Structure 1
Amino acid sequence: MRNEVNGENRLVRFENVGLRYGMGPEVLKDINFSIAPRSFQYLTGPSGAGKTTLMRLILMALKPTRGLVNLFGQDVSRLDAPTLTAFRRRMGVVFQDFRLLDHLTVYENVALPLRVLGKEEASYRAEVVELLRWVGLGERMHAVPPVLSGGEKQRAAIARALIGRPELLLADEPTGNVDPSLGKRLLRLFMELQSLGTAVIIATHDLNLMDIYDAPRLVLADGHLHVDA
């Protein structure tokens, strides 16, 4: 099913969404925005503004206190658990805590989403190796996460999020633990993924990074969101 908004399909649509924890004040207030297929947007704002929280709402890891969250054309409040799981598999996610499995090698961590889908290794091995080389981990594919640096873990998490060519990529500070030159290279990778059909949302504080590739900015401040085109 597809959602039509102003004549265009939308992967994500928020209408008057608010979020509070317990009986406390709202941390997000009247959030309204939508994400089109193949689009590229930055999510920015001061530290603590709620960027990660907003991404968790998109991922359906949090439920809003009020308002409508529509994902892939459906109201998420009406979806059962199997459908929610299937929707999450259409997204790639890079969070700051990486969430790599320590007992698996870098190669195995990156290939895991494809294994979960039941694909045979022969069908994806070359693609996984090529992607690991692109993010600078070609020589580290047989290492396990505990021996990796923070930057290497970051790159492994990015590769894992990209390997399935998701319809929507959510990346929370994806260049935060890498040097500027590698950050630019990773940005080019995200841009290439967009050109292949993935919508990309990058949460970042890095103004220099945002200046490299001009794209709309979703700006969070004081619990409110506005679009700086």
Structure 2
Amino acid sequence: MFTGRLRSSFTRPRPRTRQTGPPLIHFENVGLRYGMGPEILRDLTFDLPKGSFQFLTGPSGAGKTTLLRLLFMSLQPTRGLIKSFGRDITSIPRNELPMLRRRVGIVFQDFRLLDHLTTYENVALPLRVRGKAEQTYKQDVIELLKWVGLGERINVLPPVLSGGEKQRVAIARALIDRPEILLADEPTGNVDPPMARRLLSLFLELNRLGTAVVIATHDLALMDQVDARRMILTDGRLDIYE
């Protein structure tokens, strides 16, 4: 949960300085293919440091969403090594993966909201699943929904929300439990520029509190607002610019 009030404005926001120590995630010569088809990702070698902030970009079809799924441990590589929180993901028992994934927040392009739950209930769901009492998180959920511009939509069901509103609910749900890593797939794709800047400020604030952030985006204007690491995926290969 958030430990303090979120700041409502930033002047020239910057990511926090990356921490030293073992990386949260380590890729070494990773490749991935589906079935007998060609490799979608090839020879990926990089670290995701604790407390880092980076943009993942590249042309459509380059494999950005697939790379996010590898980072989230919902896919396994067909070759190479991936270590998440110091553990080889190919050797982690299946029943232990859900607990490890709780350390990672993810915003999918298709939102994955539950239509029978209100906006508030969708955002609070990760905390309820962990058995937390509502009185310990209710104010944090309300505050976060106000931050993303949904303070008046707390009790609304997803079918009533617009695409941009659903996206903001999904973002709030991914952030509410202060994950060690946040993966966001085109998180500003359905919102207007002012809201995109507001969401970027929220990601930077979370990063300031210690979360490593990976934002997959095509939005060059968004990336130009922050002097952050850029990971450019082209034809399944990754170039990194610090």
Give the structure-2-normalised TM-score.
Answer: 0.91
Gaps spanning 5+ residues in structure 1: where? 1-6
Q: Distance in 1 between matches of 2:57 and 2:120?
A: 31
Q: Classify the secondary structure of the residue corresponding to 2:56.
A: strand
Aligned: 1:131 with 2:144 = yes
In structure 1, the residue matched to 2:202 is 189
Task: Describe the superposition over 1:158-207 as per-residue Cα deviations: whole angstroms up to 9, x where unpaired.
Answer: 00000000000000000000000000000000000000010000000000
User: 1:31 Cα shift?
Assistant: 0.6
Q: Classify the secondary structure of the residue corresponding to 1:29.
A: strand
- Which runs of structure 2 are paired with 1:78-97 in the superposition (5 Å)? 78-97=91-110
Contact map agreement 2:41 2:237 (CA 8 A) in 1: yes
The percent identity for this pair of structures is: 66
Aligned: 1:227 with 2:240 = yes
Q: Distance in 1 between matches of 2:64 and 2:136?
A: 36
In structure 2, which of residues 112, 127, 152 is the aligned counterpart of residue 99 of structure 1? 112
In structure 1, the residue matched to 2:170 is 157
User: 1:8 Cα shift?
Assistant: 2.5
| AA in 1 matched with 2:183 | L
In structure 2, the residue matched to 1:72 is 85
Q: Distance in 2 between matches of 1:193 and 1:9?
A: 20
Q: Distance in 1 between matches of 2:106 and 2:212?
A: 12
Q: Distance in 2 between matches of 1:113 and 1:24?
A: 36
Q: Classify the secondary structure of the residue corresponding to 1:178.
A: coil
Give the structure-1-normalised TM-score.
Answer: 0.96
Q: Distance in 2 between matches of 1:72 and 1:129?
A: 31
Aligned: 1:208 with 2:221 = yes
Q: Distance in 1 between matches of 2:171 and 2:112?
A: 11
| AA in 1 matched with 2:235 | D
What's the C-alpha RMSD, in Å, of the aligned pairs? 0.8
User: 1:62 Cα shift?
Assistant: 1.1
Q: Distance in 1 between matches of 2:236 and 2:210?
A: 31
Q: Distance in 2 between matches of 1:82 and 1:61?
A: 13
Task: Describe the superposition over 1:49-103 as per-residue Cα deviations: whole angstroms up to 9, x where unpaired.
Answer: 0000000011111111100010001111111123211110001000100000000
| AA in 1 matched with 2:179 | P
In structure 1, the residue matched to 2:155 is 142
In structure 2, which of residues 53, 56, 64 is the aligned counterpart of residue 43 of structure 1? 56
- List 4+ stretches of structure 1 deviating above 6 A: none
Aligned: 1:26 with 2:18 = no
Q: Classify the secondary structure of the residue corresponding to 2:188.
A: coil
In structure 1, the residue matched to 2:15 is none
| AA in 1 matched with 2:202 | L
In structure 2, the residue matched to 1:61 is 74
User: 1:214 Cα shift?
Assistant: 1.2
Contact map agreement 2:76 2:89 (CA 8 A) in 1: no
| AA in 2 matched with 1:126 | Q
In structure 2, which of residues 157, 172, 183 is the aligned counterpart of residue 170 of structure 1? 183
| AA in 1 matched with 2:175 | L
Tell me how many residue pairs correspond in the alignment. Answer: 223
